Amino acid sequence: MNQNDFERIQERLGGVSRRDFMKICSSLAATMALSTTVAPEIASAITSPSRPPVIWLHGSECTGCSMSLLRAEHPSLEKLIFDMISMDFHETLSAGAGHQAEEALYKSVSENAGKFILVVEGAVPLKNDGIFCRIAGHNFVDTVKEIGDKAGAVIAIGSCAAWGGVAAMDPNPTGCVGVNEVLSRTQVVSLPGCPPNPYNLLSTIIHYLTFKKLPALDDENRPTFAYGRLIHEHCERRPHFDNGRFARKFGDDGHRQGYCLYYLGCKGPVTYANCSTSQFGDAGSGCWPVGIGHPCFGCAEKGVGFNVPQFTTSPVLHATPAAGHAPISVERGEGASAGSAALMAGAVGAAIGAGVVFTAKLGGKESGNENKEA
């Protein structure tokens, strides 16, 4: 990135220093599970004067994913993304409406065929030829097929677009499915969540811009940098799980103390997502459902969110190590560093915690009022 490039981005971002800008690029590299040595490449892609067109379509959904993106307040990052891309069409943000907006949509599609990024928010109804979601005289399923086949990359944002989400809940009267089931292309990137973390979208787009290819994906077409680990592994309440301290009812002593929410139906042990590390909305540390006292309901996991009742306890299939937090039982000055304590938790605590949970379940203690397992 030369000085001219930086001055251009500095003007857009309202005076951010070069050092801070490179820090943002390094953070983005870390978010994508890449070495920070790729930060200059990311900086170069971000400061490139050519802005790739993005077309954003809405299907059967609530627009919560768009709202989530608009709430991204990481220093200047939302400015960065909106200055870095050309948001040619977004049904709920576009100033234009009616025929003019539709003309702008199809003009961008024809001029940028094979180059634009299509973001789809919402499920696609298929029943009765898709009549249950009809925009500008077209059934949504037909629009997704027509525009999706011309896109350079397709991103299904939110659980509804990823696999149907809330729109496809039993009995799914409109026959909603995810974008993956409609498009012929094999690689539709799925970013499930209700809403998804906006930084996962930003990081996916930046990866595509920087390396001209999509990030590594798992079996569900989710980027592994964001969906590669269980929420339970990095949860801030994990030391309580490992030490057998649980909330049993909303508002009880354990809940007020910030204990583990497993018995309130937390789906963190079966949900792959980075909510516990990336959190939401930049409202401060702990700003995510578990952080504010609500059990994870598995919105990012197909077959869990919107399917398994909230108060059903999850199986702990793998006694995975806690990766990010020292056990709360370790007192200051005991001689164990945070790192070694975290390793201890990983090696021993997880197994103990899971063992305690299973012992309690087998012993029928689930409905007991004790907050701490003996």
Binding residues for ligand SF4, rule: CB under 6 A, are: 231-232, 235, 237-238, 241, 260-262, 266, 268-269, 290, 296
Instruction: For 239-256, give the DSSP string.
Output: HHHHTTBB--STTSHHHH
Q: Is 133 a known active-site residue?
A: no
Nearest to 73 by CA among 199, 188, 170: 199
Nearer to ligand SF4 by Cβ, of 217 and 351: the residue is 351
Region of 289 (left: φ > 0; alpha: ψ -120 to 50; beta: rest) is alpha
Residue 350's contacts (CB-CB under 8 Å, 6 or more residues apart) are: 242, 319, 320, 321, 322
Residue nearest to ligand SF4 (CB): 268
Catalytic position from the list 25, 90, 133, 160: 160
189 DSSP β-pair partners: 155
Nearer to ligand SF4 by Cβ, of 147 and 273: the residue is 273
- Give the span between the Cα atoms of 142 and 134, in whole angstroms: 9
Catalytic position from the list 65, 74, 133, 234: 65
Q: Is 296 a known active-site residue?
A: yes
Nearer to ligand SF4 by Cβ, of 199 and 259: the residue is 259
Catalytic position from the list 234, 240, 266, 325: 266
Nearer to ligand SF4 by Cβ, of 57 and 260: the residue is 260
- Give the span between the Cα atoms of 93 and 78, in whole angstroms: 14
- Minimal distance, residue 260 CB to ligand SF4, in Å: 4
SS (H, E, C) 209-229: HHHCCCCCECCCCCEHHHHCC
Q: Is 232 a known active-site residue?
A: yes
Decide if 223 contacts 99 (C-beta within 8 A). no
- Give the span between the Cα atoms of 72 and 28, in whole angstroms: 14
Q: Is 25 a known active-site residue?
A: no
- Give the span between the Cα atoms of 204 and 32, in whole angstroms: 8
- Give the span between the Cα atoms of 187 and 153, in whole angstroms: 8
Q: Is 62 a known active-site residue?
A: yes
Catalytic position from the list 90, 232, 234, 240: 232
- Minimal distance, residue 198 CB to ligand SF4, in Å: 21
User: What is the separation, in whole angstroms, between the first and last Cα of the chain?
Assistant: 59
- 159 by Cβ neighbours in 10 Å (0-12 / 13-18 / 19+) ranks as buried
Q: How many CB atoms lie within 10 A of CB 301?
A: 27
Catalytic position from the list 207, 240, 299, 325: 299
Nearer to ligand SF4 by Cβ, of 106 and 358: the residue is 358
- Minimal distance, residue 289 CB to ligand SF4, in Å: 9
Q: How many CB atoms lie within 10 A of CB 121?
A: 28
Nearer to ligand SF4 by Cβ, of 132 and 241: the residue is 241
- Minimal distance, residue 248 CB to ligand SF4, in Å: 13
- Minimal distance, residue 311 CB to ligand SF4, in Å: 13
- Minimal distance, residue 235 CB to ligand SF4, in Å: 3
Which are the catalytic amino acids?
62, 65, 160, 194, 232, 235, 260, 266, 275, 287, 296, 299
